[in-house]
Structure 1
Amino acid sequence: MCSIAGIINLNNNKVCNIKKSLEAMNFLQKHRGPDGEGIWVSKEETIGFAHNRLSIIGLENGRQPMSDNAGNWICFNGEIYNYIELQKELGCPHVTNSDTEVILYAYQKWGEDCVNHLEGMFAFALWDAKERRLFCARDCFGIKPFYYTFSNGNFYFASEIKALLPFMEEIETDTESFKDYLTFQFCLEGKTLFKNVYELEPAHYLSIRDENLKKERYWQVYYHLDFDHTEKYFQEELHRHMLHSMKYHVRSDVPVGGYVSGGVDSSIVSAMASNLLDKEYVGFTGRYSNGREFDESMYADIVAKERGFKLHTLDINPQDFIDHIEKVIYHLDEPVAGPGSFSQYMVSKLASQFRKVVLGGQGGDEIFGGYTRYLVAYFEQCIKGAIEGTMDSGNFIVTYQSIIPNLTSLKNYKPMLRGFWSKGLFEEPEKRYFALINRSPEIGDCVRWERLTDYSPYETY
């Protein structure tokens, strides 16, 4: 990963100490890019970018911030997987042979619509010299971070919140965001737990020209339901799309490895990647030494042996938690739901000794309905449909025939089911799903709710 940062004065005035400010932002994010750093400041000192680089593509000439032949500048974090195809389509010069360069020329041709031509994970800021406009964008699923704030007539942005805090007049908790977090374990609508610090939402771009800020969504998930094909057809299509995506993801000028947790998602990714990369591919997994119930490394071993790639295994113990949890908290900036961030940190620390690029299986549960709450929500709706006689009144993606064989996975969730079905049974689906994801009742009187605002996370949800 890399880091990006920047400052622009909203009134086209000179930014005081802009170079030193950008140096400070780079220093606070240096851990994101050990392979080089760069700073660009406009001649008028009204705008500047900063960048720390982890070199993946265009190792020799991909230094940032980068400019094009039109005088535009960019700082970019991420990877554009289809950059080779875009190079050919755009006919752009291969001065650096990097994916960063491709974004600059895509913007020259398509303007704001360039984001709809990019396949990858990205967060970038681009200065349009002719239009004197700042254009910033984030990838469709928000894989790469982009935070921003306003202070003293300036717009500041960075990959991490910590790089923005030195420029804020005061630092305090946003109570609405805090209420969001207590409910969902994350914040809604681009808010963060820091008052007046925002994140650019996934699949959004923003542009600033003079004092005018425009923010728009450029992509949305749409489901086109298909009841005309067989299960075999969908299996083959899924494999084809996965293989297409994997061929893009393993594009790199450095060796590639992968996280192998032992779960289905990361195992599939590693199995496919190892086929594409042969002996170059290596895997990384972790296990806890305090019981078999915390150890799934045996499943990772099976995948590694069957696919013939080397697997590095890390034994994690209680002392590791004591030694490293403070660093984990520092790098996160905000709390995250679940304890997985610590395990991820430890295995990533191991992986960094061998690889710069590591693939993973994140997102599989969201796409394929892998979480228990999805099964419970669909199960209740199927019961409701059966009682009301509407089960056969149309086409349904999930039916009671497909749910019943999976109900055994709920045997350890009986207390949750008792609580969920104790009230609100058969209400509207959006209310029932909110009841499944609402964590605030579990907190009880640990929080002084009367000190918070009347803001309703449900209404925003």
Structure 2
Amino acid sequence: MCGIAAQHRTDSTPDLDAGTRMLLALAHRGPDDSDHRTVGEHAWLGHTRLSIVDLDGGRQPLTAPDGWSLVCNGEIYNHEQVRAELGGAVFGTASDSEAALALLRTGGPAELHRLRGMWALCAAAPDGRFVAARDPLGIKPLYWARRGAAVHFASELRAFPAEVQDAVESFPPGCYWTPEAGVVRFATAVPAADPAVWEGIAPEVAEKATREALVDSVRRHLMADVEVGVFLSGGLDSSLVAAIAAEHCAERGRRLKTFAVGTEGSADLLAARAAAEHLGTEHHEAVFTAREAIEVLDEVVASVESFDASLIRSAVPNWFLSELASRHVKAVLTGEGADELFAGYSYYHAEHATGLDAELVRTLEELHGLNLQRCDRVTMAHGLEARVPFLDAEVIAHATALPAAYKALEPDGMEKGHLRRAFTGWLPEELLWRRKEQFGTGSGAQDLLSPYWADRVPDADLAAAADALGVRTKEELAYYRVFRRALPAVRPDRVLTRFATA
């Protein structure tokens, strides 16, 4: 995991001073190293590194013998397969990112669909060729600002020079950009699915396939030359990830590290403790108070780069969790994405009982600007990499192909019954069938934050801001003010996705 910045200019040479400032703004994303390079007459690439794979040889920008250079943020889990498929291609490092560089050099940006993982990249050649691209789901962030003949790219909004902040936009997932072709889509977030594939198949067969898909993904996401832990909330999704990872570590003579957070006595903290005890992990906890939650709000909002109230509520406990985990590991697995794949939220069933598949696809496609943005920013603020095995391309393809009936509520109203049955025996029944609580609720954060603003933001302020700024609650207005202080010129309509309700 890293931070990247880049410039492409056709009117002059790149602005090296601006590039240096962009890299400094991203230092938290890559505390281990930083470097940059001018490529040809028109491009500049910068990189801050958190060393996860090929600790000694993976420094970026990576450069090929023909002068092509690349900076990449993220992880490419099938890089060994890509290397094997390219046969005669020459590799100078063991870095997973070099597989992306090799594809660009041998087949061009249309070949990027072969990469499996979470990544955003910029690459340039001495002859003026330039490519920027982002993974199909947008797990890793990438923004850009186009002004005249200059184009800037960066991993976070805060990195852009003040003079172009008002032009910054979110770079579209599953797309690449070149100066010649513009924006070109190379992959979709969710592949076309044919639920008829599963018609007439016994539920037990589908459950086995779901289990195998997730087990394979978790094991693949443990790829690293450093230790990888798990964020464990005690809910179904993170507990399943922890169970698979714990088994994998045990096979290799290691003990998995797990991390939980909450207010004293909160539901998530207690459930995570029980799951860790059952799995035999080395478990660590962070307990936060109301005072501490309020004290970090400005930092959290500025880091998440959003003012959506639901996002900030869940980001606050994640802040303390990331701070804790970063003292022990460099990377963690999370349970993000399971609810969007297997219909874990109650509104899916209350409002979309018909048309469920379409709503699941819609929310998956918006994740890059919501939960994935929160997950990336809060962890990277502490130099920690977060990986999301539920959002592996093969897991997404499998889950979205399952008929909607497999994602319907159980007779007692329990959600995700199919996923729970797929892992019968992996967890105690009381954890396997624990009812869903959103992270901001289960950790105790919502009870601390939502009421806090009732008497602190005047009614008149909200009434004036609701129409002018589109904020919906006093809490959201408070976060908007922090957002605006951190990013005074950024246009929220160009860079933010928001939950349907605050």
For Structure 1 versus Structure 2, the TM-score category normalised by the shorter chain is 0.7 to 0.9
Is this contact kept in 2: 1:72–1:128, CA < 8 A?
Answer: yes
Is 1:365 the equivalent of 2:335? no
Is this contact kept in 2: 1:255–1:280, CA < 8 A?
Answer: no
Matches of 2:95 and 2:7 in 1, distance apart?
Answer: 25
| Counterpart residue number, 1:201 | 172
Is 1:75 the equivalent of 2:71? yes
Instruction: Pick from 19, 26, 30 the counterpart of residue 29 of structure 1.
Output: 26
Overall identity of the aligned pairs, in % = 26
Q: CA deviation at 1:35?
A: 0.5
Is this contact kept in 2: 1:67–1:74, CA < 8 A?
Answer: yes
Is 1:127 the equivalent of 2:124? yes
Q: CA deviation at 1:90?
A: 1.4
| Counterpart residue number, 2:9 | 9
| Counterpart residue number, 1:318 | 290
Is 1:95 the equivalent of 2:92? yes
Is this contact kept in 2: 1:10–1:155, CA < 8 A?
Answer: no
Unaligned runs of 5+ in 2: 357-401, 416-433, 438-460, 471-492
Q: Deviations for 1:10-44, whole angstroms, at most 9, x for unmatched residues?
A: 34x223xx222111111011000000000101353
| Counterpart residue number, 1:214 | 183
Q: CA deviation at 1:120?
A: 0.3
Matches of 1:327 and 1:54 in 2, distance apart?
Answer: 21
Matches of 2:93 and 2:154 in 1, distance apart?
Answer: 24
Instruction: Pick from 222, 225, 237 the counterpart of residue 250 of structure 1.
Output: 222
Is this contact kept in 1: 2:3–2:29, CA < 8 A?
Answer: yes
| Cα pair distance change 1:133/1:400, threshold 3 Å | closer
Q: Deviations for 1:147-192, whole angstroms, at most 9, x for unmatched residues?
A: 0002353100000011114242xx5xxxxxxxxxxxxxxxxxxxxx
Is 1:109 the equivalent of 2:106? yes
| Counterpart residue number, 2:467 | 449
Matches of 1:309 and 1:119 in 2, distance apart?
Answer: 29
Q: Deviations for 1:211-235, whole angstroms, at most 9, x for unmatched residues?
A: x623325224222202121110111
Matches within 5 A, 1:30-429: 30-44=27-41, 46-91=42-87, 92-130=89-127, 132-168=128-164, 195-209=166-180, 213-221=182-190, 222-225=192-195, 226-278=198-250, 279-289=254-264, 292=265, 294-338=266-310, 339-379=313-353, 397-398=404-405, 404-406=411-413
The alignment partner of 2:52 has SS state of coil
Q: CA deviation at 1:450?
A: 7.1
The alignment partner of 2:50 has SS state of coil
Q: What is the letter of the counterpart of residue 2 of structure 1?
A: C
Is this contact kept in 1: 2:40–2:126, CA < 8 A?
Answer: no
Is this contact kept in 2: 1:128–1:135, CA < 8 A?
Answer: no
Q: Deviations for 1:50-99, whole angstroms, at most 9, x for unmatched residues?
A: 11000000100111111112211111000000111112221333421111
| Cα pair distance change 1:373/1:88, threshold 3 Å | same
Matches of 2:304 and 2:145 in 1, distance apart?
Answer: 18
Is this contact kept in 2: 1:81–1:120, CA < 8 A?
Answer: yes
Matches of 1:214 and 1:407 in 2, distance apart?
Answer: 43
The alignment partner of 1:38 has SS state of strand
| Cα pair distance change 1:214/1:397, threshold 3 Å | closer
Matches of 2:301 and 2:183 in 1, distance apart?
Answer: 33
Matches of 1:151 and 1:401 in 2, distance apart?
Answer: 48
Give TM-score, length-normalised by structure 1: 0.76
The alignment partner of 2:413 has SS state of helix
| Cα pair distance change 1:446/1:271, threshold 3 Å | farther
The alignment partner of 2:71 has SS state of strand
Matches of 1:137 and 1:337 in 2, distance apart?
Answer: 30
Q: What is the letter of the counterpart of residue 124 of structure 2?
A: W
The alignment partner of 1:252 has SS state of coil
Is this contact kept in 2: 1:379–1:400, CA < 8 A?
Answer: no
Q: CA deviation at 1:106?
A: 1.6
Is this contact kept in 2: 1:375–1:403, CA < 8 A?
Answer: no
Q: CA deviation at 1:379?
A: 4.4
| Cα pair distance change 1:363/1:330, threshold 3 Å | same
Indicate the RMSD between aligned Cα atoms, in angstroms.
Answer: 3.0
Matches of 2:212 and 2:204 in 1, distance apart?
Answer: 12
Q: Deviations for 1:200-253, whole angstroms, at most 9, x for unmatched residues?
A: 1222222223xx623325224222202121110111101111121112100100
Give TM-score, length-normalised by structure 2: 0.70
Is this contact kept in 2: 1:151–1:167, CA < 8 A?
Answer: no
The alignment partner of 2:140 has SS state of coil
Q: What is the letter of the counterpart of residue 243 of structure 2?
A: A
The alignment partner of 1:113 has SS state of helix
| Cα pair distance change 1:228/1:156, threshold 3 Å | same
Q: CA deviation at 1:324?
A: 1.9
Unaligned runs of 5+ in 1: 172-194, 383-394, 413-442
Q: Which has the larger radius of gyration?
A: 1
Q: Give the number of the structure with larger relative contact order, counting CA–CA contacts within 8 Å between residues 6 or more apart.
A: 2
Q: What is the letter of the counterpart of residue 135 of structure 2?
A: D
Matches of 1:143 and 1:107 in 2, distance apart?
Answer: 20
Q: What is the letter of the counterpart of residue 145 of structure 1?
A: P
Is this contact kept in 1: 2:219–2:248, CA < 8 A?
Answer: yes
Is this contact kept in 1: 2:343–2:408, CA < 8 A?
Answer: no
Q: What is the letter of the counterpart of residue 48 of structure 1?
A: W
Is this contact kept in 1: 2:39–2:126, CA < 8 A?
Answer: no
